[in-house]
Amino acid sequence: MAANEAYISGIGQSEIGTKLTRSPLLLTVDAVREALDEAGLTIGQIDGVSTYPGRVPAFLGFSPVGADELIDALGIRATWYAGGGEITSQLGAVVAAAAAVRAGQARHVICFRTVYEAAALARPDEYSRPQRDRVDGSSQWTAPFNAISAVNWTAQYAMVHVKRYGLKREQLAQIALTARANAALNPRALVREPLTMDEYLSARMISSPLCLYDCDRFTDASTVIIVSAGSALDEVKCTPVRIAAMAGSVERHSWDQAEEMACYPTGADLWKRTDYKPADVDTVQLYDGFSFQAVAWLEALGFCKFGEGGSFIEGGKRIALDGELPLNTFGGQIGAGRLHGFGFAHEAVVQLRGKGGARQIAGDPRVAISTSGGGPLATALLLARD
């Protein structure tokens, strides 16, 4: 173990559901408790907290719990903490924590992402969204055209692949079919029923070429990743997973001015920061808020060339649980629920520790990639069990 490196120690997850009544703070505490238990740490040993995107009062379902609240609720004596949305997407919070422990600012950092979008929608009196007369900021460039959802923005990147590179619906379907097959083996997954190709192809279109099953759905859950300093691993009882490389980028922080998505420069940068090669990777956990993002990440990370993502996943065998590059083995966000980025880091650690149960990949996986975002913001982590 290298003293100056950052490791993932404990990981935890709350129940994953919709319209949960347990409060978002307590869901977060559930995930914290599980992560501490696994790491063999007590809350008194935690000296840092990192979250994305911090508490968002204007849209509480999106992010109901901030670092401030968790720190005070659990009596954490933090020497470093951070929380905010102006970072290279959700796993940017893990990147920040890794940088902090490497710089000696903290020893054990709780990183968390708590979502409560389904409950908030069901209980608008408690979690209302403000009604604005007029839109401003970046929304003004899309909302007046009723390009309201990220699906509208992502779909246009996907359409370039359909029209210029021949991406077929039957190919794109493999992301959703793989996710749902894997979710069926994950006891915590939100959707446990497998999806057939016929069901996919006959689903209603949301924003072409993306149909209902290409989209994740509102979820209530919390995910925790504890990042520990290499010099503090003697306090940790679980197998540490090294954060071997990290990369992130922002493409204009805009869904329409950037010609291509931020996953591409991020994927290229990741390989500049490590001696590992794509062929060394045992499993990939790639952001799939919309299925096409996972396709783009496969291209961005160099598993295939730009525009060849569709043929790379054709038939689904390659990315299946028993394939050469198992993808989103927990079900991704499409199957397991919209954990919003953190689920991908959680699952990489599960697999690298051999704790996947019915969904554990074969062999002795040692290297995994986790990503979040991919549109205007992107983060990629290369994780290794040494």
Under the rule (CB under 8 A), what is the footprint of other proteins?
Answer: 133-136, 138-149, 151-153, 155-160, 163-164, 204-210, 254-257, 259
Which CB sits closer to other proteins, 143 or 197?
Answer: 143
CB closer to other proteins out of 2 and 201: 201
**Least distance from C-beta 215 to other proteins, angstroms?**
9
CB of 253 to other proteins, least distance (A): 10
Q: How far apart are CA 240 and CA 233, in angstroms?
A: 8
By beta-carbon proximity to other proteins, the closer residue of 260 and 324 is 260
The C-alpha atoms of residue 118 and residue 76 are separated, in whole angstroms, by 29
| Nearest to other proteins of 72, 133 (CB atom) | 133
Cβ nearer to other proteins, comparing 132 with 277: 132
Q: How far is the CB of 261 from other proteins (least distance, A)?
A: 12
Q: Which residue, 204 or 272, is less far from other proteins as judged by CB?
A: 204
Nearby residues of 8 by Cβ (< 8 Å), 6 or more positions away? 94, 225, 226, 227, 228, 240, 241, 243, 345, 349, 383
Lookup: tokens for 214: 């290409």
Shorter beta-carbon distance to other proteins: residue 290 or 297: 290
Number of Cβ within 10 Å of residue 213's Cβ equals 23
Closest approach of Cβ 292 to other proteins, in Å? Answer: 11
CB of 163 to other proteins, least distance (A): 5
**Residue that is written with structure tokens 């422990």 in the block:** 101
Q: How far is CA 28 from CA 12, 34, 162, in A?
A: 9, 10, 40
Q: Shortest approach of other proteins to residue 26 CB, angstroms?
A: 31
Q: Which of 105, 156, 92 is nearest to 296 (CA)?
A: 156
- For the four alpha carbons of 169, 175, 176 and 178, in that order, the dihedral sign comes to positive
Minimum CB distance to other proteins, residue 134 (Å)? 4
Return d(Cα 225, Cα 31) in angstroms, integer.
9
122 vs 53: CA distance, rounded Å: 22
